[in-house]
Chains A and B, each alone.
Chain A
């Protein structure tokens, strides 16, 4: 733990003066232990309106059937599956942060993993609602499960990617929930031991009797590591299987082997964008600038450049392979995507996903909060269009030109989508109110080694390479939570 000091070249993960263990608890529990401020209420009321719209639109769909949507005989799959894939993709960043970054020992995950995992769970809930509502007869949703029944037993088609998807999504959701909740136990115990009355009772039940003794902590770390190890292939398998919903079909534009890696990269890309969209606001409103620092933001932006570029390469590869395959149907599908009636959607996708994220190569832009926030929303929009382009443009040109059609969403389509965003934010804002948005225990681990104050002590002690110190101090320039005057004196 603190047997040795961390290299001075590493940027601090906790900034601020006089941060103590108690201070960390107080700062992070501030929104949980106090009445919410006006910003929270405004956000919550708007989200709740969205969630209400979602309830209305989904109920309408249940009552009148999916004829309420804009689907037609040619385009039989549109906004529903677009929304589903979009939400599942967004969920992926949470697992990536909590599992993959844990395996790679990236300590900066400690202050963002909790909210990213919460985001994963809420995004998968939004995705799952699409699965249920597009079934037409949602009361028969259990038919997707291989349950013994009185029709034979007639089993589900285990060869179908849609059945694989059901297994993947439900496993993903429940394993993410386990991982998240187990990680929450020590922090719920922290709230419990500070609370009084009814609150104490509720958090006592939720804390499962956590005390923080040696054995529990030791096993806790073993469990986290194994869960991270199994969640990493899990998260890759989930979007691989989602992509197989398309890739195992014989529709031109879908029937490609590049889909799995391309979908996984896209999922991480959109997920990190959503994490930034949420956390840039949360850190400001909740006053967590010292824990979610510019280093975190810049690191996430770097992942966005990487995955955005992978997605860009995948778009070009798809185009190249369509030409190279010599299959005229495949070639037509791609020419039609970029120049046909949905050209605007294709170029919207290209601009938002491939061109605009390249701006993040400029340090000025990726360390600018406003620019990052806008770009993260642009990426979210672009990723929605990516799914729309793949799905609708491949379907709208049927094999017979007499069946060619366009897709026009109805108010129900739009409301289900906008409403699901409302539902997502409602859940996220409630989470911020009742549970700690940062993993308190994990952040405390960083205090003695990776905090700005610990590094300042080291500098004051001397014994460090002057050049390295100068480089470190220079790297602090971009932090909005660090005062440079302190360092000018040394």
Chain B
């Protein structure tokens, strides 16, 4: 066995890369991941990435904001320190709609982005797990686990046949670590 850990097919064109994914899948070769410099539409269906549930999370974060503000204002203006302003009701709901709306948006946005960062492991200072430095520039990279898929020459042929400009054999999983 060689020390090759990952085989990378480096494509210059997103359509050719999609073709490469199809080729590999037709031959029952499991794809580890795909790294691209821009979002590729339709790729998640091919690779079986599940639909995001972030929208549901966002809704509940938003509702939490709504409830927080309404509760907070109620506690402040009715329970803790009611003020008689011309005999008007203490809990003057129409007045609190703007701030309730703002807090809904605030909670929704922070909750949503926080969940996104947490679910995709993004945080300041995280060591980037990069397999090919050009994947954020002009190359579309298909990564195949070389230990699981042992027919290396076949993978090579399939990738090149689909239009890969280059096929790399990485002995380290991530090249970005020093």
Contacts and interface: CB of A to CB of B under 8 A. Distances in A.
A21 B138 contact: yes
Contact of A209 (B35, B40, B122): B122
B163 interface: no
Interface stretch (A42-50, A163-171, A362-370): A163-171
Given A153-B81, A192-B128, A226-B55, A208 B137 contact: no
Contacts of A25: 37, 137-138
B67 interface: no
A212 B54 contact: no
**Which one of A171, A220, A241, A440 has the greatest number of beta carbons of chain B within 10 Å?**
A171
Contacts of A233: 101, 105
B77 interface: yes
Contact of B39 (A158, A168, A218, A226): A218
Size bracket, chain A contacts: 35 or more
Interface string B122-166: 111111111101111110000000000000000000000000000
Given A164-B99, A230-B105, A159 B92 contact: yes
A132 interface: no
Contacts of B41: 1
B58 to A, nearest CB: 5
Given A21-B137, A211-B129, A221-B39, 14 more contacts: A21-B12, A22-B138, A158-B77, A193-B136, A208-B117, A209-B127, A210-B136, A211-B131, A214-B44, A214-B49, A219-B116, A226-B108, A230-B105, A231-B105
Q: Report which residue of A182, A240, A448 has the largest number of chain B beta carbons within 10 angstroms of its beta carbon.
A: A182
Contact of A214 (B34, B129, B131): B34
Contact of A237 (B95, B96, B102, B119): B102
A209 B128 contact: yes
A155 B42 contact: no
A331 B43 CA distance: 63
Given A146-B72, A167-B102, A445-B38, A185 B122 contact: yes
Contact of B105 (A175, A193, A441): A175
B116 to A, nearest CB: 5
Interface in A212-257: 212-223, 226-227, 230-231, 233-234, 237, 240-241, 244
A34 interface: no
B76 interface: yes
Contact of B103 (A2, A171, A208, A215): A171
Contacts of B124: 205-206, 208
Interface string B92-112: 100110110111011011101
Nearest to B41: A1
Nearest to B12: A21
Given A175-B106, A442-B38, A237 B98 contact: yes
B81 A152 contact: yes
11 contacts: A1-B14, A21-B138, A155-B77, A164-B102, A178-B109, A190-B37, A193-B137, A208-B117, A212-B37, A233-B101, A234-B102
A279 interface: no
B109 A189 contact: no
